Amino acid sequence: MTKKTGAHKLKQDLPLVKEAEPKELIPESKPGLKSWLKVVCGAGAVILVLSIYLLRLDDAVGMIVDDAWYVLLAKALATGQGYSLINSPSPGIMPFYPPGFPFLLSLVYRLWPHFPQNLWLLKAVSIAAMMGLGVLSYFYFKRDREQPPAVAFGMAVAAATIPSLVFLATSSVMSECVFSAIQLLSIVAMERCVREGKGKQAWRYALLGGSLVALSFLTRSMAIGLVVAAAAYLLKARLWQSAAIYTATVVLLVGPWMLYSRAHAVTPEQRLEQGGSIVQSYGTQFWQQAAGYASSGTISADELPERVWQNVSEIVKYDVGSSVFYSLFRTPEPGEKMRVGEASRMLSLGLSVLLLIGFISMVHERITLAEIALPLSLATTLTWGWEQFRLLLPLLPFFIFYLLMGVRAVQRAHQRLHHTERVQTNSLPLLIAVCLVVVFNVQAHVKYIQRKYNPVATERVKWVRSFEENQEMFNWMRERLPKEEVITAQNPALVHLYTGHKTVTFDEPAGHWEKWKQLGIRYLVRSSPYPLPHDPTENKYKLVYRQPGALNLRIVDFGPQSSRVPWESAASAGLAKPGSLP
């Protein structure tokens, strides 16, 4: 009796231990085998990812136009000419682009200030950022989102091999790759700040998080959603001191740029000289049918709901599917037409529903910074007049995550439906799903690499062949056209980088005609990665160069100022039939 009483007393004295939540079921392995498996998988992933980037790396640059501006601005900073459009005839014209990415490029430009020989070094910035994105994805999804290591590893490989981001890193010098890495690093830092709570180290992470969020905004202005979301996240956690430090840091880092850009805003005269999106404010671009293209026309506030609906439809029918099964929705390289069938559109719609289910399940479970930042970022992109897929690229790692969480939510719902006593998640379906994403990513890369190294020259990657044709035209210009000639071009930054000529954007020629005459502009350079239609307005002028091939690249001579015909009257002169070449 005494023993029973003692045992009973012992039970009462012991602290209550809360029953642990059931862990997600993953296949177990022996400790030694598991360690070797990690090493093999890690090494294999590094070799796979590096091989993809090295095999895809090429000499193309500037064909998206924006990347030519980034390189030009980096050169301006590296050579001490300030953050200005050094291609313009008039000095001191400042772009509307935020300076973060050009500044980063300028640091490596200083190491080897010889373009285009330093192109591989410039592209290495984006490639390194993609490697960082993969590593960050692993730690973020494993620690902050509490995913099994194998699943987090799969998502890391999927993030590092997203075909569109790989293309931008190896065949252009765009900012999306660097922005994606900085954005995720910002989220990791802010999550650490919230975990610290009101601890002694919280202020450091608030300072670090604020600095990284500010850098995100200074890299791409679409990070405005992240700026607001991070502040809201801290306020939601009632971390008033950290919120104050974060806000002060963002203001101190972003504020000077905002004040400087306002003080040095492009004047109407400068805008008339340069033209194009590089000197158009975001407010102006927002109301254009196609952001950055004044000739596309504008929309009114009444048309915004229709734009948002069209963008939502584009995301649901194509972009969500592209983020998972890339090769079913997109060709190995951009610009090629691909007919997406009804079955593929329905697949993308189903995946969109699954993604939404995953997002809602995460909100129900625990709201993190991502659950606040993603809707705010989408609110920014959906109102913008541009292809949504490119705007969504930095969000694709989160799309993949929410799709997997949708799979998990469906799995748990199935268990509840069958009255399972304890709901447990088997990680095998998640592993299969993320492996499918990786497989389709790799498949897209294999197709691209096979085409790039095709023994038949005419069957190789069109993007690279197009760049080479443009480069041939630039070489002709450098040898034949006098250095003092000012050029109007569809890609003024790229023309300047390869020829040294001062350039202005070929935009609304009728409205810029008199200004061009004042600047002494005589030649028009038509460059493009895609076939150019013939403009009958050019028939009145002399064609001095035409690049052989389907792109119809050409250089037009407007003639001496004293005898040239104004642009608006050239089309009605009737001296040549539309579509014919002089």
Angle formed by the axes of helices 342-365 and 396-417, to 10°?
A: 80
CB 552 within 8 A of CB 526: yes
CB 41 within 8 Å of CB 33:
no
Which of these, 223, 233, 230, lies nearest to 100 by C-alpha position? 223
Instruction: Give the pLDDT score at 291.
Output: 83
At 89-145, the pLDDT tens digits run 999 899 989 999 999 999 999 999 999 999 999 999 999 999 999 999 999 999 999
292-301: list long-range contacts, CB under 8 Å, 24+ apart: 294/507, 294/508, 295/507, 295/508, 296/385, 299/385
Say if CB 67 and CB 61 are below 8 A apart: yes
Rounded Cα–Cα distance for residues 131 and 124 (Å): 10
| Cα-Cα-Cα-Cα dihedral sign, residues 494, 497, 499, 502 | positive
How wide is the angle at C-alpha 247 spanned by C-alphas 246 and 249, nearest 5°?
65
Tokens found for residue 360: 């809602």
The reported pLDDT for the residue numbered 422 is 60
Distances in Å between the Cα of 317 and the Cα atoms of 131, 163, 310, 359, 418 are 30, 19, 10, 18, 32
* Residue closest to 127 by CA, chosen among 220, 55, 184: 55
Are the C-beta atoms of 183 and 397 separated by less than 8 Å?
no
Per-residue model confidence as pLDDT tens digits over 32-53: 557 788 888 889 999 999 999 9
Q: Which two tokens stand for residue 233?
A: 């996240």
Q: Please give the model's pTM, rounded to 2 decimal places.
A: 0.90
The Cα–Cα gap between 475 and 298 comes to 37
Q: For helices 163-170 and 119-139, what crossing angle results, to 10°?
A: 150
- Residues lower than pLDDT 70 in the chain: 1-33, 335, 419-425, 569-582
Q: Where does 453-547 have alpha helices with state H?
A: 462-480, 492-499, 509-519
Examine residue 529 and say whether the peptide bond preceding it is cis (omega within 30 degrees of 0): no
For the chain, give every domain's residue range: 462-570
Identify the CA nearest to 370 among candidates 405, 410, 411, 409.
405
Task: Report the pLDDT value the prediction gives residue 163, as an integer from 0 to 100.
Answer: 95
CB 165 within 8 A of CB 394: no
Q: How far apart are CA 485 and CA 519, in angstroms?
A: 10
Contact (CB, 8 A) for 522 and 485: yes
Instruction: Name the strands in the sheet holding 554-557, side by side, starting at the edge strand that comes first in the sequence.
Output: 503-505, 486-489, 521-526, 554-557, 542-546
Q: What's the CA angle centered on 284, arms 280 and 288, to 5 degrees?
A: 110
Check residue 108 and give its pLDDT.
Answer: 95
Say which residue the tokens 């987090």 belong to. 152
Which residues are CB-neighbours of 526 under 8 A, at least 6 positions away?
489, 490, 506, 532, 552, 553, 554, 555, 556
Q: 190: number of CA atoms within 13 Å, CB side?
A: 34
CB distance 427 to 150 below 8 Å: yes
Distance CA 260, CA 254 (A): 10
